Every structure is written in structure tokens, then in C-alpha cells.
Structure 1
Amino acid sequence: MSDNASNSLMYEGSNYFRMRLILSLLSGKPLTITRIRHDDVNPGLNEAEVNVVRLIDKITNGSHIHVNETGTELNFQPGLLVGGKVHHKCSTQRGIGYYLEVLLCVGPFCKYPLDVTLRGATNHKMDLSVEAIRAASVPILSKFFLLENEVELKVVKRALNPNADGEVAFKCPISRKLKPVQITKQGKVKRIRGVAYTTKVSPALGHRMVFEAKRILMQCIPDVYINVDHSKGTKTGSSPGFGVHLVAETTEGVFFVAEAMSPPASPGVDPVIPEDLGREAAMKLLEEIHNGGCVSSCSQALVILLMALGEKDVSKYTVGPLTPYSIQQLRHLMDCFSLKFQLDLVSGDSAEEDLDFGSSKVGLTCIGVGMRNISKRVL
């Protein structure tokens, strides 16, 4: 919650750690988090959380960070978002997607365009893959920002845990302000694309995943194409693994994503069958389509944040059932910006017939706080 007396943000616990850092950076309010895993066997911040704080320190100027001896309390005084060229080694506890989600939120508000090279696990069981972020989250920025150039996100070297020696290049231009959006039409799925990737294993595993995923999806739509990406040589890491990533595109330019991957090879862990992964990814994608909305569930929180930071005008967005992370995002925005969203249950009618199927949709409406990038140079 927000402390009005000192105009600072104060929270307890380790949940929603990145969200709180992002809101502190964008609002300029100091942040204090206490009782971080104070009852755990390993108390305090974990390696990945410390690592993301170091990344934030690299892209800012004047940030003051203080962590107590046990790591159970963090005091963060946000500085100026500078951006620029950054190289960062990510923690193996989380994937590169864990860090990319932070950069996507703050990148357009930096003084200089971001040019970041991240090294770590490009695909991780706990986080979105780079492909999922590129398909679901990157297009959202172009809907809200008037960007001079395109956002670039490229996998230079694919790698999995435990060695996690992959590399990703991310470039994000800057923008002066956000524009209000009115996106309420979902459209119908017109095609499904995907990538089945394999590293340090037989390429035949990729074809087996493709066959099973297509067997399920082609019962719903004929336009299904899944490519097999077998990384080898210098373009792959040293850890074996495989997985599949699927994207469904609608007639209104909405993308739904789903993915599944093998667990890291370790003693006591049973090997996974490629057909099971193909089936899991296909069923997850069908569930995303069933939930519907104008954004994939993994990018709901990004949409909510950008709506809140937009111009002082009405923004509307239709989404599927709110995820727990999105619900907490709404609460944090109330703490940070005293901003409330209007939530409406959206049902199909003559104007929006494409919403009259699947799960109930939620209509998000708010008036933005008018966030401006004061650091952007104006010619």
C-alpha cells in the first residue's frame, strides 16, 4: 500500500516484486519492501530478484538501492531512466523472459533507446519464452506508443537450463507519450503458426511434437503451420532440451500464445515424451482461444499498465477472464496512481458478435494519468 505521509510505496513479502519495482520507477515514488521470505529456510531476496535489481540499476541513473544484511528488506529510491547500450548476464533461476517483461514496461520511457544484450536461458519452465513475448507483448507497444522505429527482439543463441548460455538482443525505441486506445473487437482465428525447437537432441523429436500438435489443431482450422528449428553449432547452448511454441492470429490482429517445453535433464526427473508436449501446447492454445479477449492472458498486465499511463482520455480494452497477476496489478495501480478501472462483463450483441462464445469477457475502461517521457529530447 501507499504511504501518503511520505509519498512512498510500502509492501510486505516477495510476491509481485517486479511489478512493484516497475511502478516505483514510472511514478518516481520510493519503494520499501519488508518481510521478504522472513520465515523461509533461505530468507531474503533470491538470486533472480537481486539480478533484476542490478539490471534496473544499469538502465537508470541515480537509483539508490539498499538491502539489509539478511536480505529481507529492500529500500529502493528510483532514479532517471536512461537506457542506452547494456549487456547483462541473467540468473539461471529464471528465464530471459523474466527480465524482458521489465524492459518492455519501462523501455519507451528511457532517455535513450534501449539496446540490451541478455545472456541466460531463452526458454524456461517458469517464464515466457522470447518467442512468446515477441508474438504477444511486443505488438501491444505499437498500439499504445507512437514509436519512431520498430521494437526488435531476436534470439541470437538459443539455450536451456542448466547451463543457460543463450543470448538475446532487444532494441526498444523511445516515445514522448502514450495514445488512448479503443480495442474491443477480438475477431476470429484465421491461422496458427508455431516453432518446435530442439537443442542438442535429435531433430526427429521436433517433428514428433509438430505431428501431435497439428493432429489436434487441424480439427479446428486448416491453416496450421509449425516450423522445426534445430539449433546446432554456435547458435545453440550446451544443454539438451526441446519444446514447442504456438501462436494463433485472429482477423483483427490479436495474438494468442501457448507453449510447452521439456524439463532440464537431472537425476530423478523422468524424461518427457515429445507427443505429450505437442498435445500440451495445443490444448493450452485452445484454452487461450476459449478465454478470448483482445490480448493473450500472459500480456494482460502490460495492457493494464499502459492503459493507466496513457493520456487523460478514455481507453477501452476487452480481455478474457482476469488472471491473478492482472487483478493485483489493478490494486497496485490504485496504490501508486490512485487510479481506478471500470470493469464490465461483456456479452455478445449485434455490435460485437465475435465475443459471444467461450469464456465471459471483461471490458476494461479507465482515464489515463497522462504519463510523459520528460527525458525524450524534442527537436
Structure 2
Amino acid sequence: MGKSSYKRLTGSQNLRQRLVLATLSATPVLIEDIRTDDTWPGLRRHEVSFLRLLEKICDDCAVEINETGTKLKFKPGIVMGGRNLVHDCGLTRSIGYFLEPLIVLGLFAKKPISIKLKGITNDSKDPSVDTFRSTTFPMLKRFGVPSEGLELKIENRGSPPLGGGEVLLAIPVVQSLTAVKWTDEGMVKRIRGVTFSTRVSSQFENTMVFAARGIFNSFLPDVHIFTDHRAGVHAGNSPGYGISLVAETTSGCCLSADTAISYAHEEATAGLEDEKKELMPPDEVGVQIASVLLGEIEQGGVVDSTHQGLLFLLCALCPQDVSKVRVGRLSPYGIETLRHIKDFLGVQFVITADPTTGTVMLKCVGCGLKNLSRKVS
């Protein structure tokens, strides 16, 4: 075998996505200048943890990081999958940061994946584990991912800064995805949601539910928000509370918005003693997230802005057939995803703005990725 030629990239942005696309397209990458100008240069803890996770689920995967962490050499291996895996996601980012890339890779693994992920289940940066259950999974089913074997079970909740959460994730394998024509977002017919609280009074949840319902009941009657109060070992190690909402439409689309309120990490609040003690009251949290969800609905499109990147990636991985989707205003993450897809998979989207609705239509022919390790039944 000849020497691998590495695709050269710079900077730390969208590291997860680059590594996922490198793995799926079997392209070795060399990433340089990772935060060289920062006070703390190099890879962050959660990025190193993600690399360790890739090593767990892949065979023959080689990772080299220089001493300062500003240069990364990654040679992808074969995604093997496996059962009863365990990974500690750390405390700098939540489990949601690891779920999206893990699900995409798991679909093309040799064996189905079942893994226990430990860490923070809900924070304000990444999509919560509830959002993956209520919004991401129904979206995967449109691309031909079977419901059997696709599962996310929340054993323990964990809020920042000390986490303590645990979730069990199971991902089935597919031979290939199915191209979609998904352009009708429909009308919102009901709102569903879940609030959670860990190591605080369950009254916080009732307040959030009441505040969110106060906004939605002006528009539609079918609003149901469940509560999930945790205590003892199931409540993790830190106090926190939050809410995840989903708008379901007549055409089967799910649009979501979520947040979590908790004390920040020590380093994030260094020297800001007053900031540390002030948390947003639960009634304001309910109103804020209800308003964010209404904003997502107003934008139009078959997915919310958080899911744009995943939607484009799934379209690009489809067989060599045309996929057509409608989204609201393109998010910065969605735009970066389109660039990386073109870079790694050679798939280019035709983008057309629809001025009457303010939405954007995207069309592409998939790269035809097949799971070669899965036998055709």
C-alpha cells in the first residue's frame, strides 16, 4: 500500500463534521492551526473525547495530536459498532454534542451500536437528549431508518457543571438511505414537550408548563407538556431545570426548541460572582422557549434551524437519486455543512429561494453511500 495522502484543513470550526465526513468518505485529514491565537491553544477536552469515541466505534482508526494540540492527523478506519459500549462525554459539552455524529456513523457501521453515554444530558449549548428522541428520530425514519433498534433511554439526568447523567443509545444499521422529496411543512396541529428538573423543587416544572401553555393556547388547543422530575441518583450531581418543546405538523414534520438553566462552569464565571447566583426564573424560561419555537415555525421549512446540518448530510448520503427539501432561512451551521459536503463527498446542492414564503428549496443527487459490511437480506 502507498502512503496515505492527507486532505489538509485549517482551524477548529466544525471539527465533528469534518471527522464524520472523513470517516464516511475514507479520507485521511490533517487539520492545522487549531486555535493557535487563543489564550489556550489547541483541541478542547470535548474534541479529544469525541476522537476517543471514534476510536471506540472504529477499527484501524489512527489519531495523532501534536504536543500543543494545534495539529491533528486523523486516518479513518472501518466503523465497526458493537454492543455494551460505554463512553464518558466529560463535562465541557453535553451528550447532545456527541449524539448527532454518532447516529450518522452508526447507521453505516458493521454491527448495530448500543452504547451508554455519561455526562450532561441538558444544557443551553447543544440539543437536549429529549430533542433527539422527539425530533431527530422521526426525521431519520423519513430516510428509511427502521424504528426497530433506534432507541434513546434517559437513565439519569445530568445538569452542568457536574453532570452525572446517563443515557442508553441504540442505533440500527442500514444498507443505504432512501432519497426524499420533503417540501410540504404543513400546518401545526399540536405542541408536545417535556420539562425536567434535577435537585430543585418540582414546582419549577409546573411554572414552566403554565408559562409556555399561556403562549400556545392563544393559537391551538392541543398542547401537552409532560414533566420529568428527578430525585436522588437519577437527578445527577447539579441543580438545574429546562424545557424541550416540539411542534408537530399535519404533514408529519417536527420542529423543536429547547433550553436548560443551571449554574455555569467555574471558569466561565471566573470573577463574575454576581452572575453565578442569578438564574433565569422558570416562568421566563417557559415564555422564552415558546417564543423561540414560534420563531422556528414562522421561518417555515420541514426542519428547525438546529437540524438543517443533519438534514443536508442525510440527503447527500442518499443513493444517486434526487432529494428535494425545503428549509427556512439557512443557518450558519447549515451553510458550513453544505461546504463540507461538497468538499468531502463532491455533492453540490442546487439552492433556490422561494420569495413568496421566505423559504429555501434545496435539491441534490446523493453520493450513493452504501454500507458494504451489511449483507443484503
Question: TM-score range, shorter-chain basis?
Answer: over 0.9
| 1:68-107 alignment, distance < 5 Å | 68-85=66-83, 86-107=85-106
2:44 maps to what in 1?
46
Secondary structure of the structure 2 residue equivalent to 1:87:
strand
Q: What amino acid is aligned across from residue 261 of structure 1 in structure 2?
A: A
How many angstroms does 1:12 deviate by? Answer: 0.8
Secondary structure of the structure 1 residue equivalent to 2:201:
coil
Rate the CA distance shift 1:277–1:110 in 2: closer, same or farther, 3 A. Answer: same
1:20 maps to what in 2?
18
| 1:358-373 alignment, distance < 5 Å | 360-373=358-371
2:313 counterpart of 1:305 = yes
Q: In 2, Cα distance between the equivalents of 1:145 and 1:326?
A: 22
Output one character per residue of 1:207-229: Cα deviation in whole Å (capped at 9) or x when no partner.
Answer: 11111111111111111111222
Percent of aligned pairs with the same amino acid? 41
1:343 maps to what in 2?
351
Q: What amino acid is aligned across from residue 86 of structure 2 in structure 1?
A: H
Q: In 2, Cα distance between the equivalents of 1:7 and 1:66?
A: 15
- More moved, 314-323 vs 264-273: 264-273
2:63 maps to what in 1?
65
Q: In 2, Cα distance between the equivalents of 1:230 and 1:341?
A: 44
- More moved, 317-326 vs 254-263: 254-263
- More moved, 219-228 vs 48-57: 219-228
8 Å CA contact 1:148–1:174 kept in 2: the answer is no
1:219 maps to what in 2?
218
- More moved, 139-148 vs 8-17: 139-148
How many angstroms does 1:140 deviate by? Answer: 1.8
8 Å CA contact 2:122–2:259 kept in 1: the answer is no
8 Å CA contact 1:196–1:245 kept in 2: the answer is yes
1:164 maps to what in 2?
163
8 Å CA contact 1:260–1:278 kept in 2: the answer is no
Output one character per residue of 1:191-249: Cα deviation in whole Å (capped at 9) or x when no partner.
Answer: 00111211111111111111111111111111111122211123221211111111110
Output one character per residue of 1:288-314: Cα deviation in whole Å (capped at 9) or x when no partner.
Answer: 101121112111111101111111111
Rate the CA distance shift 1:8–1:336 in 2: closer, same or farther, 3 A. Answer: farther
Q: In 2, Cα distance between the equivalents of 1:60 and 1:144?
A: 24
TM-score normalised to structure 1 length: 0.93
8 Å CA contact 1:317–1:364 kept in 2: the answer is yes
| 1:91-130 alignment, distance < 5 Å | 91-130=90-129
Secondary structure of the structure 2 residue equivalent to 1:145:
coil
2:269 maps to what in 1?
none
8 Å CA contact 1:192–1:223 kept in 2: the answer is yes
Output one character per residue of 1:47-73: Cα deviation in whole Å (capped at 9) or x when no partner.
Answer: 000000000110000001100111000
8 Å CA contact 1:9–1:24 kept in 2: the answer is no
Number of residues of Structure 1 aligned to a counterpart in Structure 2: 365
Q: In 1, Cα distance between the equivalents of 2:189 and 2:303?
A: 16
Q: In 2, Cα distance between the equivalents of 1:227 and 1:313?
A: 40
RMSD over equivalenced CA pairs, Å: 1.6
Secondary structure of the structure 1 residue equivalent to 2:241:
strand
TM-score normalised to structure 2 length: 0.94
Q: In 1, Cα distance between the equivalents of 2:221 and 2:146?
A: 35
Q: In 2, Cα distance between the equivalents of 1:172 and 1:285?
A: 28
Q: In 1, Cα distance between the equivalents of 2:364 and 2:279?
A: 47
Q: Give unpaired runs (5+ residues) of structure 1.
A: 349-355
2:33 to 32, 35, 43: 35
How many angstroms does 1:147 deviate by? Answer: 2.8
1:351 maps to what in 2?
none
Q: What amino acid is aligned across from residue 212 of structure 1 in structure 2?
A: A
Q: In 1, Cα distance between the equivalents of 2:61 and 2:190?
A: 45
Q: What amino acid is aligned across from residue 216 of structure 2 in structure 1?
A: L
How many angstroms does 1:125 deviate by? Answer: 1.6
Rate the CA distance shift 1:102–1:146 in 2: closer, same or farther, 3 A. Answer: closer
1:333 maps to what in 2?
341
2:322 counterpart of 1:314 = yes
Q: What amino acid is aligned across from residue 341 of structure 2 in structure 1?
A: L
| 1:230-379 alignment, distance < 5 Å | 230-264=229-263, 267-268=273-274, 269=276, 270-346=278-354, 356=357, 360-379=358-377
Runs of 4+ off more than 4 Å: none
Output one character per residue of 1:234-290: Cα deviation in whole Å (capped at 9) or x when no partner.
Answer: 322121111111111000110111112213167432122111101111111100101
Q: What amino acid is aligned across from residue 170 of structure 2 in structure 1?
A: K
Rate the CA distance shift 1:7–1:343 in 2: closer, same or farther, 3 A. Answer: farther
8 Å CA contact 1:9–1:336 kept in 2: the answer is no
Rate the CA distance shift 1:7–1:136 in 2: closer, same or farther, 3 A. Answer: farther
- More moved, 227-236 vs 241-250: 227-236
Q: In 2, Cα distance between the equivalents of 1:297 and 1:322?
A: 7
Q: In 2, Cα distance between the equivalents of 1:262 and 1:116?
A: 27
Q: In 2, Cα distance between the equivalents of 1:367 and 1:303?
A: 14
